[in-house]
Amino acid sequence: MVSKVKDESLAAQGKLNVDWAEKNMPVLRLLKSEFAEKKPFQGTIISACLHVTKETAVLMRVLKAGGAEVYLCGSNPLSTQDDVAACLAAEGVNVFAWRGQTAEDYSACVQSALQITPQITIDDGADLTVAAHNKGINAWGGTEETTTGVIRLRSFEAEGMLKYPLIAVNDARTKMMFDNRYGTGQSTIDGIMRSTSILLAGKSFVVAGYGWCGKGLASRARGMGARVIVTEVDPVKALEALMDGFEVMSMKQAAAKGDIFVTVTGDMNVISKDHFPILKDGAILANSGHFDVEVDVKSLAQMAKGVKRIRPNMDEYTLASGKKLYLLGEG
Amino acid sequence: MQMSFANQALCAQFIAQNKGKLSISVMRVPDEIDNRVAALALKALGNEIDTLTPEQQKYLASWH
């Protein structure tokens, strides 16, 4: 066994969490019994780069039930659940992940997940696929979980760099219309509530981006009693947001009004140095996109005269004017 | 996440079944997989849905 996790003794707690997730994922339970019978992956090596959570662990169980030898690294240095990683290692998945990795640890783990040439790659953000290409791996094929990864892979394809077939799982209707809208919509609200413990009702809640994630987030925030403002760059989506009953305006205008801002765009500098001076004192900034580029944290840090961690996942940035802005989850 | 991950599992199976036959491109999830995931979710949640009768299919496909 070649796994590298934070603490193997957490496996028992991890198993409780993974079993709970499996109980609540009946679709994967159906596939697990089907695969256990048909063994579609007998003798196949699958490398995966996903957030190492209890839900991912259930997918790993499904692949293993199908006969695969599985290698798994985290798709984010901060998102690994260490008990889940320990549980998977104990169940025979080759796991390379722990919470709180440096950038070097993270890249090393992606390499570890490719130490034995896989026939199939499963990715979330395209880091594994890019690393596999750099290693000259010609897999049978791979899948990509998220919007950001699909955008990266399409650029790769346009430049003629693609070496093996890839399926954009992100674009499946049964993914976007459900996991993006209802899943990300709910978990973003949950993340904001846990890190701030504020009341959402009556707050001015700005959603940047009205894709499936943005739609779900906006309607859930409205359900919590927030007054929701949507910003968009696509006129059709902006009009849709308006007719769905949300206020629609530019980020410049919204910056002066919002209490809470969430970016769900997949692009960079959506809330930038042009906006920080306009924001209200006490404004809360969060990103629900894949990479920490949607809020320009670097400029915020440069403009701030002080940064203080107030709670886990919440930092207070004090600007020269004395105004305080609150950044969740380091952006 | 189960909708995503059901797509992941079925797409991985699709890749294994079609190794060497797929074009080197970024492709969409096959409609059969998308529909299968939705059908599995409905089954898991205990819902039945209707299917078109042959007569209804013919009506939809015809000039009228």
Restricting to B residues 6-35, those with a Cβ less than 8 Å away from any Cβ of A are 6-20, 22-29, 33-34
Closest of A286, A117, A280, A114 to residue A187, by C-alpha: A286
Using a cut of 0.95, tell me whether the model's pTM lies above it.
Answer: no
At residue A176, the 3 state secondary structure works out as helix
Is the CB of B37 less than 8 angstroms away from the CB of A172?
yes
- d(Cα A295, Cα A170) in Å, to the nearest integer? 23
Query: Which residue stretches of A176-325 are H helix?
Result: 185-196, 212-223, 235-243, 251-255, 297-303
- d(Cα A59, Cα B9) in Å, to the nearest integer? 7
Q: Which residue of B has its CA nearest to A123?
A: B8
**pLDDT tens digits, B17-41:** 999 999 999 999 999 999 999 999 9
At residue A69, the 3 state secondary structure works out as strand
For the record, the structure tokens of A213 come out as 């994630």
Q: Which of B4, B15, B40 sits opposite A145 (nearest CB)?
A: B4
Is the CB of B15 less than 8 angstroms away from the CB of A62?
no
Interface test with B, best of A143, A155, A213 (most B CBs within 10 A): A143
Residue B29 backbone phi and psi in degrees, to 5: -65, 130
| Torsion sign (Cα): B19, B21, B23, B24 | positive
Is the CB of B26 less than 8 angstroms away from the CB of A154?
yes
Q: What is the pLDDT of residue A1?
A: 57
Q: Which residue of A has its CA nearest to B5?
A: A59
At residue A227, the 3 state secondary structure works out as strand
Q: Which amino acid is at A275?
A: H
CB A77 within 8 A of CB A57: no
ipTM field: 0.89
At residue A25, the 3 state secondary structure works out as coil
Percent helix, strand, coil in chain B, to 5, is 60, 5, 35
Q: What is the pLDDT of residue A266?
A: 86
- Report which DSSP code applies to A321: T
Count how many pairs of residues, chain A against chain B, have C-beta atoms within 8 Å: 145
Residue A72 backbone phi and psi in degrees, to 5: -135, 130
CA distance B64 to chain A (A): 31
Chain B residue numbers touching A172 (CB-CB < 8 A)? 3, 7, 28-29, 33-34, 37
Please identify which residue in the block is written with the tokens 């105004």.
A323
For the record, the structure tokens of A47 come out as 């490398």
Is the CB of B19 less than 8 angstroms away from the CB of A119?
yes
Chain A residue numbers touching B8 (CB-CB < 8 A)? 59, 122, 143, 145, 169
CB A297 within 8 A of CB A317: no
Spell out the per-residue pLDDT of chain A, length 331, in tens.
589 999 999 999 999 999 999 999 999 999 999 999 999 999 999 999 999 999 999 999 999 999 999 999 999 998 999 999 999 999 999 999 999 999 999 999 999 999 999 999 999 999 999 999 999 999 999 999 998 899 999 999 999 999 999 999 999 999 999 999 999 999 999 999 999 999 999 999 999 999 999 999 999 999 999 999 999 999 999 999 999 999 999 999 999 999 999 999 988 999 999 999 999 999 999 999 888 899 999 999 999 999 999 999 999 999 999 999 999 998 9
What residues does each domain of chain B span? 2-61
Percent helix, strand, coil in chain A, to 5, is 40, 20, 40
